[in-house]
């Protein structure tokens, strides 16, 4: 890289080098795009992993309401009834121009398990995944024994904590909030999550607590072990697989689903290199409490994905592919991780089940047909050696980058051979684009009009056909040009 006075691209310009960035901005200006908006789009796409903020606290203190307030939309489930099933626990948020992820640990209260154990499980999860935490306390009730227990966990972790004194609806509640100084976490921020009172000041404090990037940024250690999350629904063989690749019994394996109590990070030699595997098999819980277990399992899976670069999703081939299997795969894709699908217990298959399994894969997993597939037996070790090449392929796709010139030549041919359908007398056109980021590959396309979802999927499919990207999700965002006349002089 040459030293020169002109401001070349910083990290804000994603993966573009100086020459590409200059050429790209010239193209944008020629086509009538606002330079500042284009810069913002590149910065957003090239930002890479976002810092993670966890929201914790005992039941009924308003965690999910606060999450919705932070997001600016009703996304997290808010319901008094415990055991509300949810597919997602992680959301993207923005405040004062900075983006971050919010992890909602609200929504589950387990009387049979006991509130203390329930809150402890959520707090442990939050600590394991977050760069900073909002600890929500009900100011009208004051600090409870459960709150004090959570404070101990948070203090032990040594991560930044913003104390939220919730349910302060007016000046009279400010006095209640002041009692929370006793928790020893610093200044309580009086907030009404329901009405929005005080949330802005609290979020300013959150931005001060959050780092610009996650504490564990991918690839900070050159040549360090790649981090692999081993995920899947209960009892698909995750612990057995970890033991098999480790060559020894490092994790308790039990016929009863859910015997793994905590995620276990293991450094394992495989295929001539060291990998860091995270076993996320289960949760501290009683096996019969199934609904709560599913909720905690999704929390643990989200935590593992936040810390991983690639996910190996195990699927039990002896049973039909379930909604839970597809949900877990979607979590890995939404998290933007490299993906390998391992079909476990393959040695037990007969011809009839194999036939139906292939039909299920075609029907239910069509959206991830780009993911490498390995047919394995965690019990016998059959085909485990195929796991390493599959992971290497997926990680190579995850880090792959297409130069801007090559990408635009490809886009030009694509638009000429397969233009967007005419809608309302107009035919939107992709004008140019760039790959602004990797891990996973993130593309920004600039167009003359709105691109329909079907056409976006077609563009993604053709990108894969042309450039590979095996084993990785691709993120494509589209910036539509405003009325051209308004931009031109």
Provide the residue ranges of all domains of the chain, joining segments of one domain with +: 11-48+401-487, 52-209, 232-398
Cα-based distances in Å from 388 to 47, 281, 365: 29, 21, 22
Higher pLDDT, 7 or 172: 172
pLDDT in tens, 90-139: 888 999 989 899 988 875 554 445 666 667 777 777 787 799 999 999 99
Residue 488 pLDDT level (bands cut at 50, 70, 90): very low
pLDDT in tens, 8-67: 334 456 678 888 888 888 888 888 888 888 887 887 777 777 899 999 998 889 998 999
Size of the chain, expressed as the number of residues it contains: 489
- Cα 232 from Cα 171, distance rounded (Å): 49
Task: Reply yes or no on whether the pLDDT at 224 is more than 90.
Answer: no
Pair 371, 340: CB distance under 8 Å:
yes
Higher pLDDT, 4 or 376: 376
Supply the pTM of this predicted model.
Answer: 0.82
- Cα 406 from Cα 413, distance rounded (Å): 11
pLDDT in tens, 423-471: 889 999 999 999 999 999 999 999 999 999 999 999 999 999 999 999 9
User: What percentage of the chain exceeds 90 in pLDDT?
Assistant: 53
Task: Reply yes or no on whether the pLDDT at 3 is more than 50.
Answer: no
**Rg (Cα) of the chain, in Å, rounded?**
24
pLDDT in tens, 247-273: 776 655 554 444 434 445 788 888 888
pLDDT in tens, 356-399: 999 999 999 999 999 999 999 998 988 988 999 999 999 999 99
CATH 2.40.10.10 fits 52-209, yes or no: no
Q: SS3 letters for 193-221?
A: CCCCECHHHHHHHHHHHCCCCCCCCCCCC
Residue 489 pLDDT level (bands cut at 50, 70, 90): very low
Instruction: Compute φ and ψ for 464, nearest 5 degrees.
Output: -65, -45
User: How much is the pLDDT for 348?
Assistant: 94
* Whole-number average pLDDT of the chain: 83
Q: Which CATH code is given to the segment(s) 11-48+401-487?
A: 3.30.300.20
- Domain 232-398 in the same topology as domain 11-48+401-487: no
User: How much is the pLDDT for 239?
Assistant: 79
Q: What is the DSSP string of 424-488?
A: TTB---EEEEEEEETTTTEEEEEESSPPPHHHHHHHHHHHHHHH--TT---EEEEEE---HHHH-
User: How much is the pLDDT for 76?
Assistant: 63
User: How much is the pLDDT for 302?
Assistant: 83
| Span 139-165, average pLDDT | 92
User: How much is the pLDDT for 125?
Assistant: 74
CA torsion sign, 196 to 200 to 205 to 206?
positive
- Cα 419 from Cα 479, distance rounded (Å): 17
Question: What residues does 373 pair with on adjacent strands?
Answer: 341
Task: Reply yes or no on whether the pLDDT at 80 is more than 50.
Answer: no
User: How much is the pLDDT for 290?
Assistant: 46
Give the pair of three-digit tokens for residue 301. Answer: 């899976």
Residue 285 pLDDT level (bands cut at 50, 70, 90): very low
User: How much is the pLDDT for 10?
Assistant: 41
- Cα 181 from Cα 179, distance rounded (Å): 5
Of 186-195, 292-301, 344-353, 398-407, which range is least confident? 292-301
User: How much is the pLDDT for 5?
Assistant: 35
Task: Give the neighbor-by-neighbor strand order of the sheet with 430-437.
Answer: 430-437, 442-447, 475-480
Higher pLDDT, 295 or 121: 121
CA torsion sign, 223 to 307 to 228 to 396?
negative
Instruction: Looking at the structure, give the CATH architecture of the domain made up of residues 232-398.
Output: 3-Layer(aba) Sandwich (3.40)
| Span 171-195, average pLDDT | 94
Cα-based distances in Å from 301 to 87, 128, 332: 11, 12, 9
């Amino acid at each position: 890289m040459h030293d020169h006075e002109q401001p070349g691209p910083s990290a804000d310009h994603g993966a573009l080098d100086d020459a590409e960035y200059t050429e790209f901005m010239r193209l944008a200006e020629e086509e009538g795009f606002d330079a500042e908006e284009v810069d913002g789009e590149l910065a957003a796409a090239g930002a890479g992993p976002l810092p993670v903020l966890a929201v914790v606290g005992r039941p009924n203190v308003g965690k999910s309401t606060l999450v919705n307030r932070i997001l600016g939309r009703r996304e997290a489930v808010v319901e008094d009834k415990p055991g509300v099933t949810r597919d997602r626990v992680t959301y993207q948020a923005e405040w004062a121009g900075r983006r971050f992820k919010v992890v909602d640990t609200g929504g589950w209260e387990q009387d049979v398990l006991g509130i203390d154990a329930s809150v402890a499980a959520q707090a442990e999860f939050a600590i394991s995944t977050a760069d900073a935490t909002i600890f929500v306390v009900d100011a009208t009730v004051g600090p409870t024994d459960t709150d004090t227990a959570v404070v101990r966990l948070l203090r032990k972790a040594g991560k930044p904590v913003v104390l939220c004194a919730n349910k302060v609806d007016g000046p009279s509640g400010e006095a209640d909030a002041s009692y929370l100084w006793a928790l020893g976490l610093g200044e309580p921020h009086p907030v009404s999550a329901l009405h929005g009172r005080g949330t802005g000041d609290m979020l300013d404090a959150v931005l001060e607590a959050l780092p610009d990037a996650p504490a564990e940024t991918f690839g900070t250690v050159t040549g360090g072990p790649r981090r692999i999350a081993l995920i899947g629904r209960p009892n698909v063989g995750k612990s057995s697989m970890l033991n098999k690749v480790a060559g020894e019994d490092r994790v308790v394996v039990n016929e009863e689903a859910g015997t793994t109590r905590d995620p276990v990070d293991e450094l394992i030699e495989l295929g001539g290199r060291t990998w860091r595997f995270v076993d996320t098999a289960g949760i501290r819980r009683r096996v019969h409490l199934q609904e709560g277990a599913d909720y905690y399992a999704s929390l643990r899976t989200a935590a593992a994905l936040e810390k991983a670069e690639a996910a190996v999703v195990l699927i039990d081939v002896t049973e039909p592919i379930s909604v839970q299997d597809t949900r877990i795969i979607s979590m890995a894709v939404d998290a933007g991780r490299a993906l390998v699908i391992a079909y476990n217990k393959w040695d037990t298959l007969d011809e009839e089940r194999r036939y139906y399994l292939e039909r299920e894969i075609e029907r239910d997993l069509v959206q991830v047909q780009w993911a490498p597939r390995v047919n394995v037996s965690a019990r016998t070790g059959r085909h485990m050696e195929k796991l390493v090449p599959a992971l290497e392929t997926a990680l190579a796709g995850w880090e792959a980058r297409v130069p801007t010139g090559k990408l635009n030549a490809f886009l030009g041919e694509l638009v000429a051979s397969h233009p967007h359908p005419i809608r309302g007398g107009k035919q939107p056109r992709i004008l140019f684009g760039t790959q602004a980021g990797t891990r996973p590959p993130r593309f920004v396309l600039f167009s003359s009009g709105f691109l329909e979802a079907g056409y976006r999927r077609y563009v993604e499919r053709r990108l894969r056909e042309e450039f590979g990207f095996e084993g990785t999700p691709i993120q494509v965002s589209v910036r539509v040009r405003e009325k051209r006349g308004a931009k031109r002089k």
